[in-house]
Amino acid sequence: MKKVEDYVVSIPDFPEPGIIFRDVTSVLQDAEGLKLAIEGIQEKLEGLEFDVIAGTESRGFIFGMPVAYNLHKPFVLVRKKGKLPRETISMEYELEYGSAVIEMHKDSIRPGQKVVLIDDLIATGGTIEAAAKLVELLGGEVVKMVFLMELAGLKGRERLAKYDVDSVICYEGK
């Protein structure tokens, strides 16, 4: 029986020498791989009390939405600046080269709601940290962050030490 990591294609020296790119699209392209990925993320939430699942654009949508559907929870979009049609709050965060801004609708999280954040990958943790700050600005509480894959060598888990962070697959390198 295959495991979800068996569906991840690893591409050496991409986008530069010494880097191993972990391609999530190979998981999505196989029905069994996708099923295992969704089930693996969902298993990380067993026994946890929460109200809302939020996912970051765009692969957080892909993995978070089916989990929200399966668990009968609402799903909140965390998007790049300028993509949401109603009143938003925003958070700027640093990238390796420059910065970016993400947004949520102002009415997407109510004070006191317990929120799970889902994304495909934790690398440095900058994007998901910004998403957590947005949840907190709206009065929500981030009770867990779940990722399909973790690149432990980039130390995102350390950056997110104040949160409950979990991943289905953990790769030791970058």
144, two tokens: 């867990």
Q: Which of 5, 22, 59, 103 is an active site residue?
A: 59
Q: Is 86 a catalytic residue?
A: no
Q: Is 43 a catalytic residue?
A: no
User: Contacts for 159-167 with beta carbons within 8 Å, 24 or more apart?
Assistant: 159/124, 159/125, 159/126, 159/129, 160/122, 160/125, 160/128, 160/129, 160/132, 163/132, 165/122, 166/44, 167/122
Say how far residue 11 (Cα) sits from the centre of its chain: 21
Spatial separation of the C-alpha atoms in residues 40 and 42, rounded to whole Å: 5
Q: Which of 16, 46, 96, 172 is an active site residue?
A: 96
* Residues catalogued as catalytic: 59, 96
